[in-house]
Amino acid sequence: MHSFGMTNDILDVRNEDQIASAWQRGLASAVALIAAVLLIALVILVARSNSERDHALARERHSYDVMVITRALDSSMARSEAALGRFVISGEQSTGTQYYDEWRRAGRQIQQLRRLTADDPVQAALVSELARLYAQRGRELAEPATHANFRQGWQALSLFNEAGKSSSIPRISRILAQLASNERAVLGIRSTVAARAAARSNFLAAMLSLLGVVLAIGAIALGWLTAQAVAQRRAARRAASIEAERAQTLEQAVAERTRELIAANERLREEAATRAQAEAQLRQVQKMEAVGQLTGGIAHDFNNMLAVVVGGLDLARRRLSHETAEVARHIDNAMEGAHRAAALTRRLLAFARAEPLLPEGVDPGRLIAGMSELLDRTLGERIKVHTEGLDQPWHVWVDPHQLENAILNLAVNARDAMNNEGRLTISTANVALGHHEVGEAEAGNYVRIDVADDGCGMSQAVLDRVFEPFFTTKPVGKGTGLGLSQLFGFARQSGGEVSIRSAPGEGTTVSLFLPRFIPAEADQPRPRDRAPREAAENAPPGAEGATILVVEDDMRVRVSTVGALEELGYAPLACASAEEALELLEDRDDVRLVISDVVMPGMTGPEMVGRIASRYPHIGVLFVTGYVGEAGEAEQFTGYEVLRKPFTVNALSRAVAGALRSTISKAERAA
C-alpha cells in the first residue's frame, strides 16, 4: 500500500508538472501572440509614417530644385546676353560660342522647369509664358548675333542696343521672381508638413524601440525556460549540422567546378570564333594587298604608255585640219579607247590605294544634295532616289571627287540590282564607333553614308567575296569587278571603313564610314590652294612663250609633253632626272614653271620641288603623275597643281595656265 501510494504521488507530481508546463506554454504563446500583433502594428505605422516623411521631404526637395533652377536660368540668360555683348564688340568667335552655349543651357533649364511644375497649374502657366518670352528674346538676340558673326560690328551693336530696350526683359524677370516667390510659399508649407511627419516618425520609432526592449526581456525569459530542452537536443543538432555542412561544402565545390568548366568552354568557343574571323580577315587583306601591289605596278607603267598614246593622238588630231574626215574618225576612236583605258587605270590605282587623293573638308550632306541631278540622269526615271540625313552632319576629310565617284558607283550597282526600277535611299548619320566595331576602324567619331536599295539582295556566299578584285555577279561585259574593290580602297585610304548588309530578296545596304573632321581646329590640315578651272583656260598675261622645265624619266612621255608644250606656244626644256634639273636651274634664270613627274629613280619629284621652293621661290610647280604610292604622300602636293596621266593637250594647257596664274598670285601677295 505504501509503494502504491508513492507511485500515485509520483504520478500526481508528474501530472502537476505537465499541467504547469502546459500553462506556461499557453501563457508564453499568448504573450508572444500579443507581442507579435503589437510589433506588426507598430511596424506598419512606422513604415507608413516613414513613407509620409519621405514624400514630404521629396516635395520639399522639389521646391528647392525649382528655386535653384530658377536662379540658374536667370544666371544663364544673363551670362548669355553678356557674352553676346562681348561678341558684338570684339567679334571673337569664342565669345559667340559662349553666348550660344549659355542660351541653349537656358532653354534646357526651362524644359526642366516645365517638367518640375507640370503638377502645379499656376506654376506651369508661368513657365509656359516664360518659354514664350524666351523664344521671343532669342529672336531679338539672333539678329545682332548674326550680324556680329558676319563682322558687321556697327549694325550688330545697334541691334543689340535695341534688343536691350525690349519689354521682354522685365517681363522675364517678373516671371522668374513670381516663380521663386510661389515656390518659397509652397516650401514653407511643405517644410512644416515634413517636420510634422518627421516628428511622428521619430515617436513611432521610439515606441518600436521600447517594444523591442520588452520583447528582448521576454525573449531572455523564454530562452531561460527553453534552455533545458535545447541542451538535450544540442548534441543531435550538432552532429546533423556537421553532416549538413559537409554535404553543402561538397555541393558548393561541385557547383563551382561546373561553373568554371562552363566558363572555360565559353571562352574556348569565343576564342575559336574570334580566331576564325581574324584568319578570314587576314586572308582577305593579304589577298587584296597582293593584288593591289600587282595592279599598282601595272597601272604605273600603263599610265606612262597611255600618256604617250593620248598626247600623240591629240597632237595628230590638232594637225589634221586639212586631212580627211576618215582619218579624224579613226583618231577619235583611238582617243576614246585610250580614255576608257585611263578610266580603268584609275580604278586599278584606287583599288591598289595608289591613286593620289586631294582631300579637303567636305560636308557630306551638301555633296549628296549636289549630286541629285547627276544621279537622276544616270539612274533613269524609274529609279526613285530619296535622300535623308541630319541638318548639320559632321564634316569629313576626303577627296570630294573620289567620294562622288564612290556614291555614284554604289548607285549604279543598286540600279542593276533593282533591274532599273525601284527605290534608292542615300542617308547620312553621325556615329561613334568602338575599337574594331566595324572592320579595322579605330575608335572615334565617324560619318556613316548609307546607300540602300530594295533589289534582289545577295547571298552569304556572294557577301564573302564582294570585295575581291575582278569578282562580279554581272554578265560578261557589264562590269569590271572593281567597283566595290575601289570603294574598299578609297575607304581605307581615307582612314575609314565599309560594311554591307544584305540578304536574298531583302535588298542591300552599303555603309561607308569616314572619320569626322572639325574645320574649326587650327591643327587640322587645310585644303590645298587650287585655281578655278574656268580661270585657267587661258594663260595669264605675260606668260606667252614662257620657259618651262619638264622633268620626266620616261623618254616617250618626256618627248610627248615637250611636243604638247611647243604646240601651246611655250618654250620647254627637258630633263631626265631631278639631279639634272637642279643643275640646269643653277645656269638658267628664265624658267617660269617646273613640270615634274612624282616617282623617278634617285630623287623623287616632291623631294626636288622641296629644294626648288627654298632656292627659287619664284618658280611655279606642276606635278604630273599616274602613281604616288600611299595615301599619306598626297599631302606633299598641298599648294601645287596636280595633273593626272594620261592627259590631253587641253588638260595640259589648263593645268599649266593654272600653275602660272597661282605663281603670279603668290608673287603679288608677297610684294
> For residues 592 and 477, what is the distance between their CA atoms, to the nearest angstrom?
47
Kindly give, in sequence order, each residue whose CB lies less than 8 Å from that of residue 365, ignoring residues fewer than 6 positions away: 389, 390, 391, 392, 393, 428
Q: What is the pLDDT of residues 357-382, one digit of tens each?
A: 667 888 998 888 888 877 887 787 88
Residue 330 grid cell = 579613226
pLDDT at residue 406, rounded to an integer? 85
Kindly give, in sequence order, each residue whose CB lies less than 8 Å from that of residue 574, ignoring residues fewer than 6 positions away: 550, 552, 558, 559, 562
CB 514 within 8 A of CB 364: yes
Q: Where are the domains of the chain?
A: 2-218, 363-517, 534-670
pLDDT bucket at 477, cuts 50 / 70 / 90 = very low
Length of the chain: 671
> For residues 506 and 489, what is the distance between their CA atoms, to the nearest angstrom?
27
- Does the bond joining 606 to the residue before it have cis omega, within 30 degrees of 0? no
- Give residue 496's Cα distance to chain centre: 11
pLDDT at residue 223, rounded to an integer? 76
* Overall average pLDDT of the 590-619 stretch: 90
> For residues 560 and 311, what is the distance between their CA atoms, to the nearest angstrom?
6
Is the pLDDT at 489 greater than 70? The verdict is: yes
pTM: 0.37
pLDDT bucket at 7, cuts 50 / 70 / 90 = very low
Give the residue, 266 or 56, on which the prediction is more confident. Answer: 266
Sign of CA dihedral 173, 175, 178, 180: negative
Query: Mean pLDDT: which of 154-168, 175-189, 481-495, 545-559 is highest?
Result: 545-559
> For residues 506 and 524, what is the distance between their CA atoms, to the nearest angstrom?
41
**SS3 assignment for 630-666:** CHHHHHHHCCCEEEECCCCHHHHHHHHHHHHHHHHHH
The lowest-confidence range among 137-141, 308-312, 629-633 is: 629-633
Q: What is the pLDDT of residues 160-190, one digit of tens each?
A: 877 777 887 888 888 888 888 888 888 878 7
CB 583 within 8 A of CB 612: no
pLDDT at residue 473, rounded to an integer? 62
pLDDT at residue 596, rounded to an integer? 93
Q: What is the pLDDT of residues 423-437, one digit of tens each?
A: 999 999 999 998 888
- Give residue 572's Cα distance to chain centre: 50
Is the pLDDT at 575 greater than 90? The verdict is: yes
pLDDT at residue 167, rounded to an integer? 80
Is the pLDDT at 5 greater than 60? The verdict is: no
Is the pLDDT at 440 greater than 70? The verdict is: yes
Is the pLDDT at 450 greater than 90? The verdict is: yes
Is the pLDDT at 591 greater than 50? The verdict is: yes
Helix (H/G/I), strand (E/B), else coil: 257: helix
The residue behind cell 556613316 is 448
pLDDT at residue 170, rounded to an integer? 87
Percent of the chain with pLDDT over 90: 11
**Sequence letter at residue 618:** H
* 554-562 own/partner pairs: CB under 8 Å, 24+ apart: 554/304, 554/307, 554/597, 556/304, 556/305, 556/307, 556/308, 557/304, 557/307, 557/308, 557/311, 557/597, 557/645, 560/307, 560/308, 560/311, 560/312, 560/315, 561/307, 561/311, 561/595, 561/624, 561/652
> For residues 441 and 431, what is the distance between their CA atoms, to the nearest angstrom?
12
* Overall average pLDDT of the 470-495 stretch: 65
pLDDT at residue 522, rounded to an integer? 37
**Sequence letter at residue 206:** A
pLDDT bucket at 91, cuts 50 / 70 / 90 = confident
pLDDT at residue 446, rounded to an integer? 93
CB 130 within 8 A of CB 176: yes
* Overall average pLDDT of the 74-94 stretch: 83
pLDDT at residue 533, rounded to an integer? 35
Is the pLDDT at 54 greater than 70? The verdict is: yes
> For residues 269 and 443, what is the distance between their CA atoms, to the nearest angstrom?
26
Q: What is the pLDDT of residues 211-229, one digit of tens each?
A: 777 877 877 877 777 777 6
Helix (H/G/I), strand (E/B), else coil: 585: helix
Mean of pLDDT over the chain: 78
pLDDT at residue 631, rounded to an integer? 37
CB count within 10 Å of CB 558 equals 21
Q: What angle do CA 126, 132, 137 make, to 5 degrees?
A: 120
Is the pLDDT at 313 greater than 50? The verdict is: yes
pLDDT at residue 526, rounded to an integer? 41
Percent of the chain with pLDDT over 70: 76
pLDDT at residue 537, rounded to an integer? 47
Is the pLDDT at 191 greater than 90? The verdict is: no
Kindly give, in sequence order, each residue whose CB lies less than 8 Å from that of residue 546, ignoring residues fewer than 6 positions away: 539, 570, 571, 592, 593, 660
**Sequence letter at residue 391:** D
Fold (CATH) for 534-670: Rossmann fold (3.40.50)
Residue 232 grid cell = 538535450
pLDDT bucket at 393, cuts 50 / 70 / 90 = confident
pLDDT at residue 2, rounded to an integer? 47
> If you ran DSSP here, which 8-state letter would residue 440 be given?
T
- Half-sphere exposure of residue 151, counting CA atoms within 13 Å on the CB side? 0
pLDDT at residue 55, rounded to an integer? 80
CB count within 10 Å of CB 139 equals 10
* Overall average pLDDT of the 402-411 stretch: 85
Render 97-132 in DSSP notation, one character per residue: HHHHHHHHHHHHHHHHHHHHTTT-HHHHHHHHHHHH
> For residues 226 and 24, what is the distance between their CA atoms, to the nearest angstrom?
11
pLDDT at residue 630, rounded to an integer? 42
pLDDT at residue 245, rounded to an integer? 83
CB 107 within 8 A of CB 134: yes
Is the pLDDT at 618 greater than 80? The verdict is: yes
pLDDT at residue 547, rounded to an integer? 92
Fold (CATH) for 363-517: Heat Shock Protein 90 (3.30.565)
> For residues 561 and 622, what is the distance between their CA atoms, to the nearest angstrom?
13
pLDDT at residue 330, rounded to an integer? 54
Residue 601 grid cell = 629613280
Helix (H/G/I), strand (E/B), else coil: 146: helix
* Overall average pLDDT of the 497-514 stretch: 90
pLDDT at residue 565, rounded to an integer? 92
pLDDT at residue 329, rounded to an integer? 56
Q: What is the pLDDT of residues 252-303, one digit of tens each?
A: 888 888 988 898 888 888 888 887 777 666 666 655 665 555 565 566 556 6
363-517 and 534-670 agree in CATH topology: no
* Overall average pLDDT of the 91-103 stretch: 84
Residue 424 grid cell = 534608292
Is the pLDDT at 411 greater than 50? The verdict is: yes
Q: What is the pLDDT of residues 329-368, one digit of tens each?
A: 556 656 666 665 666 666 565 555 445 566 788 899 888 8
